[in-house]
Structure 1
Amino acid sequence: MALAERFDRLDALRGVAIVWMAVFHFCYDLNYFGFIRQNFYTDPLWTVQRACIVTLFLFCAGLSQAVALEQGQSWQRFWRRWAQIAGCAVLVSIGSSLMFPRSWISFGILHGIAVMLILARLLAPLKGGLWIAGLAAIVLPQLVQHPFFDTRWTNWVGLVTRKPVTEDFAPVLPWLGVVLWGMATGRWVLAQRRGWLADALPAAAAPLAVLGRWSLSFYRVHQPVLIGALMLVVALRR
Structure 2
Amino acid sequence: MNLQLPQTGSGAAQRWDAIDIARGIAIVAMIVYHFSWDLSFLKLIGTNILEVAAWRWFARSIAASFLFLTGIGLVLAHARGFHPGAYLRRLAKIGGAALAVTVASYFAFPQSYIFFGILHCIALASILALPFLRLHSALALAVAAFVLAAPLIFVSPALDAPWLDWLGLGAVDPVTNDYVPVFPWFGFVLIGVAVGKGMIAREGAMGVARWRGRDLVSRSLRWAGRKSLPIYLIHQLVLLAILYGVLQITGPNPAAEARPFTAECEASCRQQNGQPGLCQRTCSCIVDNLRETDLWPKILGNRLGAEDQTRISRTAQQCLRNAP
Deviates more, 1:203-212 or 1:188-197: 188-197
Give CA deviations for 1:107-134 in whole Å, capped at 9, x if unaligned: 1111111111100113322222111111
Residue among 205, 209, 232 paired with 1:198: 209
What does residue 241 of structure 2 align with? 228
Structure 1 residue matching 2:179: 3-state secondary structure: coil
Rounded to whole Å, the distance in 1 between the matches of 2:34 and 2:218 is 22
Deviates more, 1:104-113 or 1:195-204: 195-204
What does residue 49 of structure 1 align with? 58
| Change over 3 Å in CA distance of 1:97–1:196 after alignment to 2 | farther
Partners of 2:44 and 2:247 within 8 A in 1: no
Rounded to whole Å, the distance in 1 between the matches of 2:48 and 2:136 is 41
What does residue 176 of structure 1 align with? 186
Partners of 1:15 and 1:211 within 8 A in 2: yes
Rounded to whole Å, the distance in 2 between the matches of 1:122 and 1:67 is 15
Report the aligned-residue RMSD: 1.7
Rounded to whole Å, the distance in 1 between the matches of 2:82 and 2:237 is 32
Partners of 1:3 and 1:71 within 8 A in 2: no
How much does 1:196 deviate?
Answer: 6.0
Rounded to whole Å, the distance in 1 between the matches of 2:158 and 2:84 is 33
Residue among 60, 76, 81 paired with 1:72: 81
Structure 2 residue matching 1:161: 3-state secondary structure: coil
Rounded to whole Å, the distance in 1 between the matches of 2:57 and 2:91 is 28
Residue among 206, 209, 212 paired with 2:225: 212
Deviates more, 1:112-121 or 1:124-133: 124-133
Rounded to whole Å, the distance in 2 between the matches of 1:94 and 1:40 is 25
What does residue 61 of structure 1 align with? 70
Deviates more, 1:171-180 or 1:115-124: 115-124
Partners of 2:36 and 2:49 within 8 A in 1: no
2:96 counterpart of 1:87: yes
Give CA deviations for 1:154-188 in whole Å, capped at 9, x if unaligned: 11111121221111100011111100000110110
Rounded to whole Å, the distance in 1 between the matches of 2:212 and 2:98 is 31
2:105 counterpart of 1:96: yes
Give CA deviations for 1:65-102 in whole Å, capped at 9, x if unaligned: 11012043412211111111111111111221222211
Partners of 2:117 and 2:180 within 8 A in 1: yes
Q: How many residues align?
A: 238
Rounded to whole Å, the distance in 1 between the matches of 2:60 and 2:210 is 28
* TM-score under structure 2 length normalisation: 0.69
What does residue 124 of structure 2 align with? 115
2:134 counterpart of 1:125: yes
Rounded to whole Å, the distance in 1 between the matches of 2:40 and 2:221 is 27
Structure 1 counterpart of 2:179, one-letter code = F
Residue among 4, 25, 40 paired with 2:34: 25
| Change over 3 Å in CA distance of 1:96–1:139 after alignment to 2 | same
* TM-score under structure 1 length normalisation: 0.93
Structure 1 counterpart of 2:226, one-letter code = R
Rounded to whole Å, the distance in 2 between the matches of 1:107 and 1:10 is 25
Partners of 2:105 and 2:113 within 8 A in 1: yes
Rounded to whole Å, the distance in 2 between the matches of 1:3 and 1:136 is 37
Partners of 1:106 and 1:152 within 8 A in 2: no
Mark the structure with the bigger radius of gyration.
2
Question: Percent of pairs identical after alignment?
Answer: 34
What does residue 147 of structure 1 align with? 157
Structure 1 counterpart of 2:231, one-letter code = F
Structure 1 residue matching 2:78: 3-state secondary structure: helix
Structure 1 residue matching 2:135: 3-state secondary structure: helix
Rounded to whole Å, the distance in 1 between the matches of 2:235 and 2:97 is 12
Rounded to whole Å, the distance in 2 between the matches of 1:233 and 1:91 is 27
Structure 2 residue matching 1:70: 3-state secondary structure: coil
How much does 1:212 deviate?
Answer: 0.3
| Change over 3 Å in CA distance of 1:236–1:38 after alignment to 2 | closer
How much does 1:201 deviate?
Answer: 4.4
